[in-house]
Structures are given as C-alpha cells and as structure tokens.
Amino acid sequence: MRALAWVQAPSIEALTVADLGDLFDLDPQPEFLLIGTGAGLRQPPRAFVRELEARGIGVEVMDSRAAARAWGVLRAEERWIVAALLPLI
C-alpha cells in the first residue's frame, strides 16, 4: 500500500485516467476505484467512468470524507481497491 500527494489536483469535471498515473498498474487489477470528490459530491466525466469500466474496474464516487472512511472499511475487508481523494477545498 502507498499514498501519493497530488502534484496538482485536477477538477473532478476534467479528470482523466491519465491524471491518475500508474494507479492501475497492479497485478491483480483493482476491483474498483474509490473517488473522493472533495468537500461535496460531484460526478466525474462519463467518458472517464466508461474507460475504467471497459477495463473491468468499477467506479464509486463520494465526497472525500466518506471515501476515506470507506477506504478503511474496504481495506479491513481485504478488498483490492485503489482511491483518488481530492482535497477538501
């Protein structure tokens, strides 16, 4: 497990798979991506979600506080997930 800070966090509306770098270069591939969208819930672009779903990776979107809590629960269940949490600004 590792955590990396965003060099420059993109807006959720402009998020691309490329913005997430090597987050998905895992073996086995993660079950899903948990996206924390900052202080409030906002939806990423449909094209972003479709691209990940085409790779067999589900996408769960929630505000960053809820995503951080969900991360702890899911990892305690030993689920194979990745997360991208945007700052609370």
Q: What is the value of pTM for the model shown? A: 0.88
- Per-residue pLDDT tens digits for 16-29: 999 998 889 989 99
* pLDDT value of residue 89: 79
Partners of 32 in the beta sheet? Answer: 58, 81
Print the SS3 string covering the chain.
CCCCCCCCCCCHHHCCHHHHCCCCCCCCCCCEEEEECCCCCCCCCHHHHHHHHHCCCEEEEECHHHHHHHHHHHHHCCCCEEEEECCCC
**What is the pLDDT averaged over residues 41-69?**
96
User: Does the structure show a pLDDT above 80 at 5?
Assistant: no
Domains of the chain: 31-85 (3.40.1230.10)
Confidence of residue 4 (pLDDT cuts 50, 70, 90): confident
Confidence of residue 1 (pLDDT cuts 50, 70, 90): low
